[in-house]
Structure 1
Amino acid sequence: MAGITLNKIRKSYGELRVIHDIDIDIASGEFLVLVGPSGCGKSTLLRMIAGLEDITGGELAIGGTTVNTLSPAERNIAMVFQDYALYPHMTVEENMSFGLKMRGATPDVIGRRVENAANVLKIKDFLKRRPAQLSGGQRQRVAMGRAIVREPAAFLFDEPLSNLDAALRVEMRLEIAKLHNRMKATTVYVTHDQVEAMTLADRIVVMNAGAVEQIGKPLELYRKPASLFVARFIGSPTMNTITASWTDENRLDLLGRSIDMTAAAGKSGLAGPVTFGIRPEDLVSCAPEDAWFSGEVAVAERLGSQTYAYVEIGDDRVLTVELARDTDIAIGEKIHLRSNPGSIHLFDNSTGRRVN
């Protein structure tokens, strides 16, 4: 397998810049996930790596070789698409072997690689069927098998699970993770689903408006988001955020309450308005006199393993709090909440960047 290096990669359509000077080093064997909202540029960036989109500026290297001007076939990568892209008139076996035949592989090599991939993906019993005779999950396995038999330098996945139902997505996430652990293949995976990103990735690249917001391991992004955008995008339910302001270097005015932020600030001299963030699981019930927030429960979601309460705290603000799964809580009940200052996230209002 080969590493992939993106150095100041740019993409423009005429005067419109859609990808802005992106730098990423993807190690050989790494599973890297590009995640972000629709329109952020993640699929465009993947297609540039694949050679399906021209590179306006910068350098792209695969295995140490600059590939900016090479065709997709010359880059020795394999791509799995969202819509499977299988030939409907061919059997599963023919779909998987077609690319190898076009490259002049011998029948022995083709047979061995197809059999190995079919065993790994548990589709050996379907080799004589056509795509129309398969379920969505089986078709996605065939698309993955077609990529595996190539034995490429890297695998590229473009939202491969988005056409599957919820149960199949969970099943296929597990299969992709197991496949990567077995093959140790360099993989770049695009998704808008942060749960997929968190469960599959060695590292995540969070993209926003054609630029990189943050790169890091999944729990690094969750525990210490570098920006308000990352804080709100990574995590489900999303982080609670409230505008606040400093009354002095270590105290924060939070909805009219003065809160000691010494443990959260990490430095003195902070001033002006900030955005206060707290994860739902970091809020705890407390006595009224110790509360940072007080309000009534508007909605309670009981999900079996977890319970979430949505608490109205005034001025159309709603806090999400995670409770023990067996918590007996009623709509309209008054509750009081606070947190450990060390669990607080603070972001500069003007830049959106983290300040603690």
Structure 2
Amino acid sequence: MFDHRIHNFNAGPAAIPLPVLKKAQEEFLNFKGTGMSVMEMSHRSKEFEAVLARALDGVKNVMGVPDDYSIILVQGGASLQFSMVPMNLALPGKKIDLIQTGAWTQKAEKEAKKHAEVNIAATTESENFMRLPRPEEIKLTADAAYVHMCSNNTIFGTEYHWLPDTKGVPLVADMSSNICSRELDVSKYGLIFAGAQKNLGPSGVTLVIVRKDLAERADKKLPSMLQYRTYIAENSLYNTPPTFGIYMLALTMEHIQETGGLKATEARNVAKANTLYEAIDGSKGFYRCPVNKADRSRMNVNYRIYKGDTANEDLEKQFVKEAEAAGLAGLKGHRSVGGLRASIYNAVGQDSINALVAFMNDFARKNG
């Protein structure tokens, strides 16, 4: 039944661990003897509340979330968080600092400006976001309401391997594309948010981890559905949640724990990224990664095919077409940057990386 699985490099929705899919398949029609699917049961039932507890406890245990933080599950994707964060965390008369590193921080800036003055603390837009700002380039406001950053840039293929020093100002991180891919200290952040569809499960669920005191900043006149405190008070059950997505999140957290936690996950991700980048850098210029080496993402690997000193779009189109025929899906780069992109999230195994590298080497031999 699983003989025809392809190598999935899609940027999101993305690969889900096969053991998670198999477990969901086993329980799909009859969840734990209830005679119904998780998708059919009431979100107020004791059976689903147990599923929700598994998901929330799984996040807490896997990520080491401190007790003074709340873990909530909302809808609307990370894009809704571009509005919810300033609605809840902005303070009268104070600026929001934002580190501009690509499309997702640009969208966050647009929404934040509707609620407060935004200070662009640093930007690399003039370099097409092919590197991150250096620490000395970031000019923060001393009394900002918070600092917004995107920890990994899916489109441009950059990732922070360090954190800006915000001098005690709460740090908000959009972690949609590298959540749970590495160890981290949650206490260094005021708020973390992430869409589920890259490392946590299927689309439809958004994870928010917020320091409890920050959740109390919001004006109580803000619509209930847009207040973090509403979800905290109601344990993410204020309205009907995406029950199946939460169930899949629970299974994914359990899978991470069963396979060694974030330390082992990070080690696998480092090995995968190193294998792919070494193939690119070792291709004698046929493949080239435009991203500053120190800022390269472990999750989204961008590269181009060159003939001489020029990127060759015809060869890139041929590469994508032949790769799909060979069972390697999702390798076309984002339309705003072109080229090729391999998204190698947690569920993409080393076997898929090896298959991609073998294909790349063969393609280069035939077309170089």
TM > 0.5 fold call: no
Which range, TM-score by smaller chain?
A: under 0.3
- Which structure has the larger Rg? 1
Could you say which structure has the greater relative contact order, defined with CA pairs below 8 angstroms and 6 or more residues apart? 2
Higher strand share: 1
Higher helix share: 2
Give the structure-2-normalised TM-score.
0.27
Give the structure-1-normalised TM-score.
0.28
